[in-house]
Amino acid sequence: MAFGFLKNLVGKLFDPSVDWDDLEETLIRADLGLPLTSLILEKIKKSGQSITPESIEEIVSAQLAALFPLSQEELLPASDRPKVILLLGVNGTGKTTTTAKLGHHLLSKNHSVLFAAADTFRAAAIEQLSLWGERLGIGVIKGQYQGDSAALCYDAYNAARSRASDFLLCDTAGRLHTKSNLMQELAKVCRTLGKHHPSLPDEKWLVIDATTGMNGLVQAREFHASVGLTGIVLTKLDGSGRGGIAAAIQHELGISPKFIGFGEKAEDFQRFNPEAFVAQLV
């Protein structure tokens, strides 16, 4: 999981021959996006420090670390009702796997968990989450294949409440952020849950595949506009993904990464840690 996108520039960065174009391209290729890249380049030029590979690495790291909220508080249950987390995203980013991993994480913290198989579009998706539920010992509320996912989430909340579950994790169907009817369906899931309690769903996390680069930013913009995201989960950091997309999203939209995924197993999952993330990224 170490990308070290600046490391390959070492030797090219010495003042006065620092290649600004090369540096800019490197930052952009790390998925930081143009606005954040420009901001960081500006900081380096204005820093007054002599430009060495070390000083550049230091400034880039400091700029990136400063973007993210300092302390990542534990994910705690609500005091009087199940806390509801929706996992959202386009097809194949890892929503179902993330639902399972998050369930596993919460169990390890001694919280009780229930899953809602709200991806009713594909029978295989319901089956996939059921298998995870069996493996982890987590109950799964399932609806009809091709049924109404808003109604399913509504019922799943009732089930979570009657079982006194601390968390209800809803695995939703993959949808293209460009399909407005599907985005409206998601808004309906949120509205329907809101009938139980005005602050439901508590969390709406976009699951983003780190290997898809800047497309993650486009997805975040669209999902945020439709339902108002409260966080992101960055997956597949074990692949070729560089992860800079998390910084681009934080910079543009102010939405913070909550967890990272780096494999297909339930354990391949951690809370997002800004310092560790930046250290590996740069």
Residues lying near Mg ion in the complex (CB under 5 A): 95-96, 125
Taking the C-alpha atoms of residue 100 and residue 158, their distance in angstroms, rounded to an integer, is 21
Among 35, 69, 228, 239, binds ligand GDP (CB under 6 A): 239
Instruction: Name the residue nearer to Mg ion (CB basis): 96 or 165.
Output: 96
* Phi, psi dihedrals of residue 146, rounded to the nearest 5°: 65, 15
Among 63, 93, 192, 219, binds ligand GDP (CB under 6 A): 93
Q: Please report which helix (H) or strand (E) contains residue 132, including its range.
A: helix 123-136
Among 132, 154, 262, 272, binds ligand GDP (CB under 6 A): 262
Query: Quick one: which segment of 45-53, 71-79, 94-102, 154-162 binds ligand GDP (CB under 6 A)?
Result: 94-102
Q: Rounding to the nearest 10 degrees, give the CA dihedral for residues 160, 165, 166, 167.
A: -50
Considering the rule CB under 6 A, would residue 240 count as an interface residue with ligand GDP?
no
Burial 209-226 (b: 16+ CB within 10 A, else e): bbbbbeebbebbbbbbeb
- DSSP annotation of 165 reads -
* Phi, psi dihedrals of residue 194, rounded to the nearest 5°: -65, -15
Query: Quick one: which segment of 40-48, 49-57, 195-203, 263-271 binds ligand GDP (CB under 6 A)?
Result: 263-271
Considering the rule CB under 6 A, would residue 97 count as an interface residue with ligand GDP?
yes
Considering the rule CB under 6 A, would residue 236 count as an interface residue with ligand GDP?
yes
Residues in 182-221 at the binding interface with ligand GDP, rule: CB under 6 A: 207
Place of tokens 């999902």: 223
- DSSP annotation of 261 reads E
Considering the rule CB under 6 A, would residue 261 count as an interface residue with ligand GDP?
yes
Interface residues with ligand GDP (CB under 6 A) are: 89, 91-97, 174, 207, 235-236, 238-239, 261-264, 268
